[in-house]
Amino acid sequence: MDHAADTFRTDLMTITRHVLNEQSRHPESRGDLTILLSHIVLGCKFVASAVNKAGLAKLTGLAGETNVQGEEQKKLDVLSNEVFVNALVSSGRTCVLVSEEDEKATFVDPKLRGKYCVCFDPLDGSSNIDCGVSIGTIFGIYMIKNQDTVTLEEVLQPGKDMIAAGYCMYGSSCTLVLSTGNGVNGFTLDPSLGEFIMTHPDIKIPPKGKIYSVNEGNAKNWDTPTAKYVEKCKYPTDGSSPKSLRYIGSMVADVHRTLLYGGIFLYPADKKSPSGKLRVMYEVFPMSFLME
């Protein structure tokens, strides 16, 4: 007779169970990061559900405002931002929040203040919302250095000083990838349980990959070394096969595929964006933390 465990997973490693396990490795911990992460997970579940019904619930299209990057905000950008700000503030564990959609950092009311700072991109890949292509959320968490006088310096720390980072991809399934500094693990949302279950333990990027991922529409603005590198991906001179091109235009999805399949994702600086398009605090640092 079949054993139930052959068909169903019966010993579920939920994200909460995993984070509690990680916490127990630090006996001095009081569970503050666990509480913060559970609020972030709630935000991800909310956005996952909104994304699923976006076309039905009139959540597609523009919100009517422009953000500090000069981009027209989509309704889902604004909604997701609101959800995450509320979830983070109400966790009682944060003090400074930096979001792509807010011009200024949010300093949490001292009554609700905790020791963590969170930089986040509430909805990454906004251009893909209205056609139902994968989008995501990115977050990076720092520990505050000085709890008495909270200043912007707290979020202007080097990326390597982050204590945790992750992203959630709202794709053909909803996947949350998280690191608290000890390996990288992936969890898939089981919609019937409303729980993220570990499906990708201890993710390691394959050392070699067959894919390059870049917006080649920007090629005319690239510098020569970048152009030469991409040319080599297509016309290798060492006898190897040409690489395949995959580009979604949502960093979360492009990085997720790169993490699982290997290869390279790049958004090089160019004449149009001399410092690069991707934003260091809430896109590049968290993703680099996970990649490293």
Contacts with ligand AHG in 240-259 (CB under 6 A)? Answer: 249-251, 254
Kindly determine how many residues on this chain lie close enough to bind Mn ion according to the rule CB under 5 A: 6
CB of 176 to Mn ion, least distance (A): 16
Q: What is the dihedral of CA 217, 221, 223, 226, to 10 degrees?
A: -10
Contacts with Mn ion in 125-164 (CB under 5 A)? Answer: 126
Closest C-alpha to 114, from 30, 32, 27: 32
- CA–CA dist 214, 209 (Å, integer): 15
Interface with ligand AHG includes 101 (CB under 6 A)?
no
Beta bridge partners of 292: none
Interface with ligand AHG includes 121 (CB under 6 A)?
yes
Nearer CB in complex with ligand AHG: 95/177: 177
The enclosing H or E element of 73 equals: strand 72-74
Contact (Cβ atoms closer than 8 angstroms) between residue 99 and residue 108? no
User: How far is CA 190 from each of CA 48, 53, 56, 59, 85, rounded to the nearest angstrom?
Assistant: 11, 17, 22, 23, 24
The enclosing H or E element of 213 equals: strand 211-213
- Decide which of Mn ion, ligand AHG, none touches 130; Cβ closer than 5 to 8 Å per partner kind: none
- CA–CA dist 146, 86 (Å, integer): 23
- Decide which of Mn ion, ligand AHG, none touches 17; Cβ closer than 5 to 8 Å per partner kind: none
Among 43, 114, 125, 140, binds ligand AHG (CB under 6 A): 125
CB of 129 to ligand AHG, least distance (A): 9
CB of 230 to Mn ion, least distance (A): 22
- Decide which of ligand AHG, Mn ion, none touches 213; Cβ closer than 5 to 8 Å per partner kind: none
CB of 79 to Mn ion, least distance (A): 12
Interface with Mn ion includes 270 (CB under 5 A)?
no
Alpha helices in 100-200 (DSSP H): none
Nearer CB in complex with Mn ion: 22/124: 124
Interface with Mn ion includes 124 (CB under 5 A)?
yes
Beta bridge partners of 97: 106, 118
Nearer CB in complex with ligand AHG: 72/161: 72
Beta strands 62-66 and 113-124 are unpaired
Q: What is the DSSP string of 223-240?
A: -HHHHHHHHHHHS-SSSP
- Decide which of Mn ion, ligand AHG, none touches 66; Cβ closer than 5 to 8 Å per partner kind: none
Among 262, 277, 284, 288, binds ligand AHG (CB under 6 A): 277
> Which region, judged by CB under 5 A, interacts with Mn ion, from 10-18, 37-45, 67-75, 163-171?
67-75
How many Cβ atoms from other residues are within 10 Å of residue 179's Cβ? 20
Beta strands 264-265 and 211-213 are parallel
Interface with Mn ion includes 254 (CB under 5 A)?
no
Q: Which residues bind Mn ion (CB under 5 A)?
A: 71, 100, 121, 123-124, 126
Q: Which residues bind ligand AHG (CB under 6 A)?
A: 71, 100, 121, 124-127, 215, 249-251, 254, 267, 277
